[in-house]
């Protein structure tokens, strides 16, 4: 399966049109992004700036199915102060309109909003300021899907994750009448398109998988944030349950490889999407040669 990695890489899977929207860039501490992996190893993969931060993308998914327009995650948004923009090295962040407009869409056209979890770099664009400076939902017509466990934890965060949950990013959703709190380990939103709870990063973190007769896709969220995190021990220090992350990575990587799924990495600025290859001798997954992909660009 091949993907046209243009500014708006898009492809067709069955009845679905998928577009990867890069809605900005941020920079986070390299040590935190690679956990117990020594810097002497990970710094060969991504260069650090003067603050020991590495560059990270904000790759969201636009999913079009029949007359439905769905968005998966929303990036950091535009509500941060200049102080916090500098703290997190935020670049190229603009209102979501700027990313949808070239595709002929507006926020009001979105019918569904799905969130892997509610950390600020995944849910920040879910709300915005109106003309009076009030925080309101960005996607006024969209039914929003969040796992009930994540909704609870966002309102009762641990000291470790408290700084990542900003209530202005999600609390306004409560009064819209369009908030769906999901239950259980797996929820099919459309035929073949499923939100699956992984745990690991947060207790109720979820990923998206799509299975069609013409191929499949897995959107890793923060379980595998970049292709540099494909090796099982390469787990973020931000994860609340790192051993759980490694276990789910091992199981899902095997599934993704055997089924030939396209892998979408939410924070990768180099390889937002790829298929996998497997190194038999060293027993690890890595990015397949791009020539292995088949053009599905619409």
pLDDT in tens, 107-126: 999 999 999 999 999 999 99
Backbone angle region of 53, left / alpha / beta, with phi > 0 → left and psi within -120 to 50 → alpha:
beta
pLDDT in tens, 136-158: 999 999 999 999 999 999 999 99
The angle at the Cα of 182, spanning 190 to 208, to the nearest 5 degrees, equals 50
Distance between CA atoms of 223 and 268, rounded to whole angstroms? 13
pLDDT in tens, 157-188: 999 999 999 999 999 999 889 999 999 999 99
Query: Closest Cα partner for 255 from 290, 218, 288?
Result: 218
Per-residue pLDDT band for 276 (boundaries 50, 70, 90) equals very high
Rounded to two decimals, the pTM is 0.94
Residue 279 has pLDDT above 80, yes or no: yes
pLDDT in tens, 229-244: 999 999 999 999 999 9
Burial class (CB in 10 A: 0-12, 13-18, 19+), 13: buried
Alpha-carbon torsion, ordered 73, 135, 204, 225, to 10 deg: 40
Look at residue 102 and give its three-state secondary structure: helix
Q: What percent of the chain stands above pLDDT 90?
A: 85
Residue 274 has pLDDT above 70, yes or no: yes
- Asked which of 15-19, 44-48, 68-72, 222-226 is least confident by mean pLDDT, the reply is 44-48
Domain 10-292 grouped into CATH 3.40.1110.10: no
Residue 297 has pLDDT above 90, yes or no: no
Residues 6+ apart with CB under 8 A from 210: 13, 16, 18, 63, 192, 193, 194, 216, 217, 218
pLDDT for residue 290: 56
- The total of other beta-carbon atoms located within 10 Å of residue 39's CB is 12
Q: Are 8 and 21 in contact (CB under 8 A)?
A: yes
Distance between CA atoms of 257 and 38, rounded to whole angstroms? 27
At 218, list the tokens: 């897995």
pLDDT in tens, 47-63: 899 999 999 999 999 99
- Long-range Cβ contact pairs of 50-56 (< 8 A, separation 24 or more): 51/27, 51/89, 53/27, 53/28, 53/29, 53/89, 54/27, 54/28, 54/29, 54/30, 55/25, 55/26, 55/27, 55/89, 55/269, 56/25, 56/26, 56/27, 56/28, 56/225, 56/226, 56/267, 56/268, 56/269
């Amino acid at each position: 399966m091949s993907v046209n990695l243009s500014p708006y890489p898009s492809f067709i899977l069955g009845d679905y049109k998928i577009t990867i929207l890069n809605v900005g860039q941020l920079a986070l501490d390299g040590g935190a992004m690679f956990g117990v992996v020594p810097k002497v190893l990970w710094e060969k993969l991504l260069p650090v700036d003067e603050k020991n931060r590495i560059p990270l993308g904000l790759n969201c998914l636009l999913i079009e199915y029949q007359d439905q327009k769905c968005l998966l995650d929303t990036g950091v948004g535009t509500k941060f102060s200049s102080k916090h923009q500098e703290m997190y090295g935020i670049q190229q962040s603009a209102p979501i309109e700027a990313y949808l407009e070239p595709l002929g869409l507006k926020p009001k056209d979105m019918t569904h909003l799905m969130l892997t979890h509610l950390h600020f770099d995944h849910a920040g664009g879910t709300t915005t300021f109106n003309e009076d400076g009030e925080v309101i939902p960005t996607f006024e017509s969209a039914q929003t899907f969040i796992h009930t466990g994540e909704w609870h934890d966002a309102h009762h965060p641990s000291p470790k994750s408290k700084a990542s949950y900003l209530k202005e990013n999600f609390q306004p959703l409560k009064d819209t009448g369009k908030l769906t709190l999901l239950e259980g380990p797996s929820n099919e939103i459309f035929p073949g398109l499923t939100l699956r709870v992984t745990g690991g990063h947060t207790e109720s973190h979820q990923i998206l998988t799509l299975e069609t007769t013409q191929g499949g896709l897995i959107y890793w969220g923060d379980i595998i944030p970049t292709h540099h995190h494909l090796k099982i021990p390469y787990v973020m220090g931000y994860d609340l349950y790192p051993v759980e992350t490694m276990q789910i990575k091992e199981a899902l990587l095997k599934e993704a490889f055997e089924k030939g799924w396209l892998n979408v990495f939410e924070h990768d600025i180099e390889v937002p999407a790829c298929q996998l290859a497997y190194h038999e001798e060293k027993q690890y997954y890595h990015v397949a040669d791009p020539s292995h992909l088949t053009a599905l660009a619409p």
